[in-house]
Amino acid sequence: MAVELGYREEAAILVLNRPEALNALSFAIVAEIDNALEEVARSDARVLLITGTGDKAFCAGADIKELRNRDLMAQKRGAESGQATISKIETLPIPSIALINGYAFGGGLEIALACTFRLAAKQARMGLPEIKLGLIPGYGGTQRLPRLIGEARALEMIMTGRTIDAEEALHIGLVNQIMEGDPLEAGLAFAKGFTRYSLPVLGLARQAVMRAADMPIHEGLKTEADLSTLAFRTGDAEEGMAAFEEKRKPEFRDA
């Protein structure tokens, strides 16, 4: 399989496994990712980790050889279905972390952009080099990158095709952390910072922040008031506040 899905501790682990093509996204792989994400959504996992086989590439982007010689309607359908698959990462009921273990270019970076968090290995390089092919990003890059790092920096990456290393990615807020050692261990350790909290309440926090990008601040504040009130109504909020008063550790039940 070019996509492997496994489970470890409380994490689902999706591995892009096509090392001979630097884990490039053939249409078949995109379909496999889609199926794997459906399975993850039904699982008991509390976090999804995504990485690539080997230490050279996370994913070198859409399969350029496959993209050629398709008519415009086929290209448009391909972009739309790739976008729909990648958007499923964002709408999963659990948070996700891209473990960028090497090159993350084009569609590869676009997968990482849809994750809740991104960790990069020291040797990782990231970019949207489509312009060098006479193309522009088609799997969400023009929309998610500016929301994450701002319009000017996103336009610079998209219009020059310049790729950046892990240090620069950390500096501009594209990644949360530079990983030391084994990416999976680094991902599991990072996930422990939030997986013990209430999953539905984590979901409300993600929704509040994600919706902020789509609305003016007065609408966003209304959304925050609604979602924080919803959080307040959960049993986990009751437990968290009771535990504080009783000076003990809370036991969240995801309810």
Catalytic residue positions, numbered: 110, 130
Q: Is 250 in the site for ligand CO8 (CB under 6 A)?
A: no
Distance (Å, whole) CA 130 – CA 114: 18
CB of 156 to ligand CO8, least distance (A): 17
Q: Is 78 in the site for ligand CO8 (CB under 6 A)?
A: yes
Q: Is 252 in the site for ligand CO8 (CB under 6 A)?
A: no
For the record, the structure tokens of 103 come out as 């090159």
For the record, the structure tokens of 244 come out as 């504080």
Nearer to ligand CO8, 139 or 252 (CB): 139
Nearer to ligand CO8, 106 or 183 (CB): 106
CB of 62 to ligand CO8, least distance (A): 3
Question: Which residues does residue 11 pair with via DSSP β-bridges, in sequence order?
Answer: 8, 47
Q: Is 102 in the site for ligand CO8 (CB under 6 A)?
A: no
Which range, of 44-52, 75-83, 87-95, 195-203, touches ligand CO8 by CB under 6 A?
75-83
CB of 5 closer than 8 Å to CB of 13: yes
* 158: three-class secondary structure by DSSP: helix
CB of 70 to ligand CO8, least distance (A): 8
Q: Which of 14, 16, 48, 60 binds ligand CO8 (CB under 6 A)?
A: 60
| b/e map 43-76, b = 16+ CB within 10 Å | eebbbbbbbbbbeebbbbbbbeeebeeeeeeeee
Q: Which of 105, 117, 190, 252 binds ligand CO8 (CB under 6 A)?
A: 105
* Closest by Cα among 212, 229, 230 to 221: 212
Distance (Å, whole) CA 59 – CA 53: 9
List contacts with ligand CO8 (CB under 6 A).
21-22, 24, 60-65, 75, 78-79, 82, 103, 105-107, 129-130, 133, 135, 137-139
